[in-house]
Amino acid sequence: MLSPEIRRIALMVALAAISYLLLLAWNEDYGVGSDPAPSDAPPPVAGADAPVVPAPADDLPDASIGAAAVPETVEEPVPQAPEDSAPRQVQVTTPELHLTIDRLGGDVVALALPKYPRSTENATPFRLLAQDGLHTYVAQSGLIGPDGVDSTGERPLYTTPRSEYRMGEDDAELAVELRHETVAGVEVIKRFRFQAGSYAFDVEHEVRNGSVADVQARLFAQLKRDDSTPEEEGFQIGPRPYVGAALTTPEDRYNKVDFDDVDETEFRADVTGGWVAMLQHYFVVAWVANPEELNAYTGRRLAGPGRPLYAFGYVAPEFRVAPGARQVVSAKLYAGPKHQDRLEAIAENLSLTVDYGILWWLAVPLFQALAYIQSWVINWGVAILLLTLAIKLVLYPLSAIAYRSGAKMRRVAPQLKRLQERHSDDRRKLSAEMMELYRREGANPFGGCLPMLLQMPVFFALYWVLYESVELRQAPFFLWIEDLSVMDPFFVLPILMGGSMYLMQMLNPPMPDPMQARMMKMMPFLFTAFSLFFPAGLVLYWLANNLLSLLQQWYVTRQADREAAA
């Protein structure tokens, strides 16, 4: 039978190991190897300066998804689009977004965030969408169905009077219009509406039917990307953020769908309203559907050679436009940071893409408290320190129970050692004597475990708050810490954190067994190694938590020793 000391050390080591493994295994997606570093130049669009060649539409969704069967019609051959010498790219600039629209299909094929530099050393805007030789990540939309302009086997070539649009400092909105007219006289206007101060914009399709027959079509919107690692997430030790798709359904408010999940079987779900998103660390791109319509959502792997491509999106219900009439259908695209307030205002449950996991109910108020403190002190690092202090004060009663139990175990340690020497050959007798000693002295070798276990949900919730919050990205602290979201460049905080763990051990009861003592002495070094490559904001929290715990432990232990001596 294992002695209480051995069970106690085994429990502590197991808790430490499980804690770290939980951080490593939080997401099932561990990504792929890092890709070549992207150039600082604006991302080009393949073939942008070449003569226009109609693009195949075989990556678009099936128009029959979620709809009744449509009678077959005989389509007349579509004339080849005349060569167009105008630039394929349409550049749009707002204070929040730099994006490129391809006139062939009207897709958003490049998008950067000027208010979010790539790093503290590289002021180039962070690139979220791109279509170049290394990456494919685009936002597509159009009209499919019997008379949809995207259902002819090739994408429509839109025209626009300008190749550049810019929102002025005093402008409240900006509209960009692309036009396409079929040989039958149906005009489609694809309109992008941008609002000042917003990362979301509306994408409208206006159909003006100048033909002699009804026009039937369905709006589709989808995100197409490869499985490459986002440029910020190459080499990394520790937990990897989720990179993949997510959507909301009646059964699951936040349903993550890995790329692997659709390699063999296509994902399908019918949802009233809803949204579909592609996620990565700190940023999200999402199509938001009309909340009053029943939409058919799909996720699938696209056929073709080379790197795997995946498409996640939805198809809206069919609409009909009579001759001489017009109709507008629209979707909303969000491309930007995972700001909870912004996301919550756009669509229900979209804020859940800030993924705090199963402890979201605890993490959300912790983040709100952190943001409130930061609004007063400005510095996010100082806000972390003050929030840690507040949490330690709230949890002090639980900590005091654990520290008092440790103080009692420290006092009986010499007697335990003598018992072990006296009964080294009789484990049964040793266990009985130890139990009697614990009863007589009121000590409990596991008395400090339960209070510490009760605090672990708070620890993990705050961990994910600091790990997931885009507000900490490139947020400076003091001196050499210029970015709380990346590792300490000089490893000062991890070393101090390890030192604080060692000091905490000095106040804990010594392990009677030499092997146990050596194992405990290794713990600070192991945790220091774990934290070397963790974001500085997380290590700052751990260091502050350890120092406050050290102070509380010293105070409680001193009080307990005085009471015992009285």
353, 377, 406 - which closes a domain: 353
Whether the per-residue pLDDT at 470 is higher than 60: the answer is yes
Whether the per-residue pLDDT at 47 is higher than 70: the answer is no
d(CA 178, CA 160): 5
Same domain, 111 and 180: yes
291: domain CATH number is 2.70.98.90
The residue ranges of DSSP E strands in 360-464, in sequence order, are: none
Is the Cα torsion angle 15, 19, 21, 27 positive or negative in sign? positive
Same domain, 280 and 410: no
Same domain, 22 and 106: no
Do 216 and 147 form a contact (C-beta atoms < 8 A)?
Answer: yes
pTM for this model (two decimals): 0.81
Q: What is the tens place of the pLDDT at every residue in 389-398? A: 999 998 888 8
Q: What is the pLDDT of residue 132?
A: 85
Same domain, 264 and 395: no
Same domain, 418 and 273: no
Q: What is the pLDDT of residue 36?
A: 37
Whether the per-residue pLDDT at 5 is higher than 70: the answer is no
Q: How many domains does the chain have?
A: 2
Phi, psi of 13 (to 5 degrees): -65, -40
Interior angle at CA 56, CA 42 and CA 267, nearest 5? 90
Lowest mean pLDDT, pick from 55-59, 63-67, 460-464, 536-540: 55-59
Q: Report which of 503, 543, 553, 535 is spatially closest to residue 385, judged by C-alpha positions.
A: 543
Do 31 and 229 form a contact (C-beta atoms < 8 A)?
Answer: yes
Mean pLDDT in residue range 357-378: 92
Q: What is the tens place of the pLDDT at every residue in 202-224? A: 999 999 999 999 999 999 999 99
Same domain, 336 and 484: no
Question: Is 73 contained in some domain?
Answer: no
Whether the per-residue pLDDT at 4 is higher than 60: the answer is no
Q: Report the amino acid identity of residue 50.
A: A
* pLDDT, averaged across the chain: 82
Same domain, 151 and 240: yes
Is the Cα torsion angle 507, 510, 516, 522 positive or negative in sign? positive
Same domain, 432 and 561: yes
Q: Which residue has the higher pLDDT, 368 or 416?
A: 368
Q: What is the pLDDT of residue 44?
A: 43
Residue 453 domain boundaries: 4-26+367-565
Same domain, 131 and 199: yes
Question: Is 84 contained in some domain?
Answer: no
Sorting pLDDT into bands at 50, 70 and 90, what band is 199?
very high
How far from chain centre, in Å, is Cα 519?
36
Question: Is 434 contained in some domain?
Answer: yes
Same domain, 282 and 375: no
Same domain, 345 and 394: no
300, 325, 353 - which closes a domain: 353
Same domain, 142 and 287: yes
Mean pLDDT in residue range 116-122: 87
Interior angle at CA 240, CA 467 and CA 451, nearest 5? 55
Sorting pLDDT into bands at 50, 70 and 90, what band is 514?
low
